[in-house]
Amino acid sequence: MRDVREGFTLKSAIETTFDVVGGKWKGVILWKMLDVETIRFNELKRALGGKISSRILSKELRMLCDEGLIERKDYHSVPPKVEYCLTEYGKSIEAFMVPMNEWGLQHQSRKESKGEMIVNSKKMQKE
């Protein structure tokens, strides 16, 4: 539910949170970055399984920098060397990312057990 005051629509806190860390890649990028002090662009791309294009990764990193969650350090060298790290503010995401990960594990387990139940019931029907 949104509050309307003086003609403006105010976002709920959860909407704001999902605007910052939601989407296909931002949450996963932040999750990977919780485990490292610093990470280079291609290391991060590999850590994401290479499933993200360089263009999209650059865009998502830029957005996270703009939000103050990560910091980009450019060494101005040839070949280019750029490292990324979580800011102190960015590290605060751990407080809600860890419980989200635990919920995800429980949900995966639930789905797998339901899938096994469906497979088992189909086997029983065939017998």
Residue at 99 is within a domain: no
Residue at 114 is within a domain: no
Domain encompassing residue 85: 3-92
Count the domains in the chain. 1
Q: What is the CATH number of the domain that holds 66?
A: 1.10.10.10
Radius of gyration over every alpha carbon of the chain, rounded to an integer in angstroms: 20
Using CA atoms, how far apart are residues 85 and 62, in angstroms rounded to an integer?
12
**What pLDDT is stored for residue 8 in this prediction?**
57
Residue at 124 is within a domain: no
Residue at 46 is within a domain: yes
pLDDT at position 121 over 80: no
Mean pLDDT of 27-36: 95
The token duo for 66 is 């703009």
pLDDT at position 124 over 50: no
Residue at 113 is within a domain: no
Residue at 76 is within a domain: yes
Residue at 117 is within a domain: no
For the entire predicted model, the pTM comes to 0.77
